[in-house]
Copies of this chain bind each other. A is one copy, B any other.
Amino acid sequence: MSNKVEESSITIDSGIVECYYHFSVERIKAHYPNERLIFITDENVYKSHAEIFPVGDTIIFPAGEENKNLETVGRVIDELHEIDAGRNDRIIGVGGGVVTDLSGFVASIYLRGLKFSFAPTSVLAMVDAAIGGKNGVDSGQIKNQIGVIRQPDALFFDFTLLRSLPSEEWVSGFGEIIKHACIKDAEMFHYLENHRLEDLGNNPGAFARLVQKNVNIKLNVVAQDELETNARRILNFGHTLAHAIETLNKLPHGLAVSVGIVFACKVSERLTGFDPKKTEKIVDLLQQYHLPVSAGFDKEAAWNLVSFDKKKSGDSIYFVVLEDIGKGVIKKISLENLKDLFFEI
């Protein structure tokens, strides 16, 4: 089926982010007729979709979170230098979250910053990773420890690329979609309850509308607080624990978020009196989308990672809880208090 391109844009402190839905990667070149475009992607995306990349101006790096580090950044920059990339050229990051994180960071620091745009190719990147301008890489065990916040000029959503996405990655993307529903959109929560992943995956029109809704939820939060001094923290719902078990158990991000959401619901029950029946509804929805709701992990090791977590401030931590489905709130709680809950729940 063919879908008309739909456009929208949002103004953020640092500039305007344009969104183009049903926009094929091959059309990006025509969208920037007067610019030299340099595509950055990883080996997996390139293997699946070699035909969408121009010859010569495509830089390919090894796939996987384990390559999202300063060493890969250095190698991509060497390649930019080799192909004589200049200050007026534009980077197009095409791939999942690792590609958009790394290519956005490279674009932010090469020659002190080139223009850049993204074409996310996974569900997770479409609804979360490619949005909001947090670009960066990992350092040792700590995810995203190195980076900057800088918005892409445009996001191009080419849903046809999802056809080759493994089913586990579909599931992972729904971890973030359900997170958005929990903190901001009770209506979307009910919509998800009434659908199945398999149906949405086979209905590009419905899926595109769902992505659009998620992009708008995230962009609206980011527009309120680009640098995460306050309101943006809401997006960390489920992430405090998720980052730790993602590292320890090598769980895909969305699956770790799912486990983290269940933990955060239980913390919500203690802190806001969140109804345990609603926790059950959330657990049911996560399972309906094939997401894990618990995981065996080393609690001591996880706590060490949680307490290093970069969102900590002094002896307390910002932790997102629910007051209701569709209504997340940010609480500052002491590390000690969180530690007690952590080992109790």
Contacts and interface: CB of A to CB of B under 8 A. Distances in A.
Interface of A: 70-71, 73-74, 77-78, 81, 84, 86-88, 108-113, 134, 136, 139-140, 142, 144-149, 308, 310-314
Given A78-B140, A81-B139, A86-B312, A109 B73 contact: no
Copies in the complex: 2
Nearest to A145: B111
15 contacts: A71-B74, A74-B139, A77-B145, A78-B140, A81-B142, A81-B145, A87-B310, A109-B109, A109-B136, A109-B146, A109-B148, A110-B145, A112-B136, A112-B149, A113-B148
Contacts of A314: 88
A109 B314 CA distance: 20
A70 to B, nearest CB: 5
Contacts of A311: 87
Contacts of A113: 148-149
A308 B84 contact: yes
A140 B81 contact: yes
A152 to B, nearest CB: 16
Given A77-B145, A146-B110, A313 B86 contact: yes
B74 A70 contact: yes
Contacts of A86: 310, 312-313
B148 A134 contact: no
A145 B86 CA distance: 11
Contacts of A70: 70, 73-74, 77
Contacts of A308: 84
Given A70-B73, A109-B136, A112-B147, 8 more contacts: A70-B74, A71-B74, A78-B139, A81-B142, A81-B145, A88-B314, A109-B109, A109-B146
Which A-B residue pairs are the 9 nearest by beta carbons? A70-B74, A112-B147, A111-B310, A109-B146, A77-B139, A70-B70, A87-B310, A88-B313, A112-B149
A335 to B, nearest CB: 12
